[in-house]
């Protein structure tokens, strides 16, 4: 767990130890402890994956079901696509606990004792996760873990709507030892342009300014030796600030 995430976890454990959000961070600690005991790298918590996981836990708690497929027939991959998450390698774990102390500990133990869920937790290819915990009206805790493999780890969630005066801050790290990221930008009228981000010590920070209003398709590529690989793809709507209308 990065230092910033660890500090968030400690503060929440002290102030709000029993809140679902704190339990999400606690489950990440338990999950990474299980991975470390098997000589695997720890996972990063990613906010976009976390949002997908939390929404599915909320849906199960509200509609009283427990399944990877929701009431609309949407699978985990469907929900990821709907959330603009493009990773081809992904997995989902679910747990449901009620009437016991230490529900998060019990949930993680139960997942590790289940071969299929254990395989997700100990999958060496995954490098990030989103965890969503929700408590239902009848005091049942629903847990969702969404795993993915990413070439780039973003430290901040990429917004869907931005101001043309503010732009988008892209900040994170690369998994591979690469020197450059290529951003391909396509406007609604078909006009395309590209920008380059230099990487130092696998870290990057870049303000992406989009001057014209409208919908932009953004594709982020990394250069692997002589090949360019798609690492992420998403859409952003650019609007003027309300006081300029």
Residue-averaged pLDDT of the chain: 88
What is this structure's pTM? 0.78
For 57, list phi and psi in degrees, rounded to 5: -65, -40
Asked if 30 and 104 count as a contact pair (C-beta separation under 8 A), the reply is yes
Mean pLDDT value of segment 145-165:
86
Residue whose C-alpha is closest to residue 31's, from 136, 141, 154, 144: 144
DSSP secondary structure string, 152-208? EEESSPPPSEEETTT-EEEEEEESS--SEEEEEEEETTS-EEEEEEE-BTTEEEEEE
- CB burial of residue 169 (10 Å; 0-12, 13-18, 19+): middle
Bigger pLDDT: 152 or 1? 152
From residue 174, give the alpha-carbon distance in Å to each of 18, 34, 138, 146: 34, 24, 43, 20
* Tokens at 215, concatenated: 């919908």
The most confident of the ranges 41-50, 100-109, 189-198, 212-221 is: 100-109
- What is the C-alpha to C-alpha distance for residues 75 and 80, in angstroms, rounded to an integer? 9
d(CA 186, CA 158): 17
Q: Return the minimum-mean-pLDDT range out of 56-70, 117-131, 201-215.
A: 201-215
Band (pLDDT 50/70/90 cuts) for residue 7 is confident
- Residue with more model confidence, 145 or 88: 145
Read off the pLDDT of each residue in 100-110 and give the average, rounded to a whole number: 95
Segment among 77-91, 100-114, 167-181 with least mean pLDDT: 77-91
CA-nearest of 32, 206, 44, 62 to 135 is 62
Is the pLDDT at 209 greater than 70? The verdict is yes
Structural domains in the chain, sorted by start? 3-148 (3.40.33.10), 153-244 (2.60.40.1930)
Taking residues 126-152, what's their average pLDDT?
Answer: 94
Average pLDDT for 6-30: 83
pLDDT above 60 (res 22): yes
- In sequence order, the 6+-apart residues with CB closer than 8 A to the CB of 233 are 84, 86, 217, 218, 219, 220
Residues across the chain = 245
**Can you give the pLDDT at residue 1?**
61
Q: How crowded is residue 214: how many other Cβ atoms within 10 Å of its Cβ?
A: 13
Instruction: Please compute the mean of the pLDDT values over residues 126-153 and round it to a whole number.
Output: 94
Selected residue with higher pLDDT from 112 and 190 = 112
End-to-end Cα separation, the chain, in angstroms:
43
User: How confident is the model at residue 188, as a pLDDT?
Assistant: 82
Distance CA 153, CA 226 (A): 22
What is the predicted pLDDT for the residue at 173? 87
Tokens representing residue 116 in the block: 């299929």
Q: Do 113 and 39 contact (CB within 8 A), yes or no?
A: no
């Amino acid at each position: 767990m990065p230092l910033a995430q660890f500090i968030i976890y400690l503060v929440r454990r002290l102030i709000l130890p029993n809140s679902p959000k704190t339990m999400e961070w606690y489950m990440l600690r338990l999950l990474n402890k299980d991975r470390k005991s098997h000589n695997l790298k720890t996972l990063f918590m990613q906010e976009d994956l976390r949002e997908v996981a939390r929404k599915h836990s909320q849906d199960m708690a509200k509609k009283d079901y427990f399944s990877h497929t929701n009431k609309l027939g949407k699978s985990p991959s469907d929900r990821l696509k709907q959330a603009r998450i493009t990773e081809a390698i992904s997995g989902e774990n679910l747990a449901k606990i009620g009437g016991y102390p230490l529900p998060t500990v019990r949930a993680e133990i139960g997942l590790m004792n289940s071969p299929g869920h254990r395989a997700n937790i100990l999958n060496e290819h995954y490098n990030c996760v989103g965890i969503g915990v929700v408590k239902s009206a009848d005091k049942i805790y629903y847990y969702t873990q969404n795993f993915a493999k990413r070439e780039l780890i973003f430290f901040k969630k990429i917004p869907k709507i931005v101001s043309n005066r503010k732009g988008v801050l892209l900040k994170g790290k690369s998994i591979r030892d690469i020197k450059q990221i290529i951003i391909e930008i396509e406007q609604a009228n078909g006009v395309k342009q590209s920008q380059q981000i230099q990487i130092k010590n696998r870290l990057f920070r870049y303000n992406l300014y989009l001057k014209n209003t409208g919908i932009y398709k953004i594709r982020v590529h990394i250069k692997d030796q002589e090949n360019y690989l798609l690492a992420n793809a998403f859409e952003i709507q650019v609007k003027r600030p309300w006081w300029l209308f």
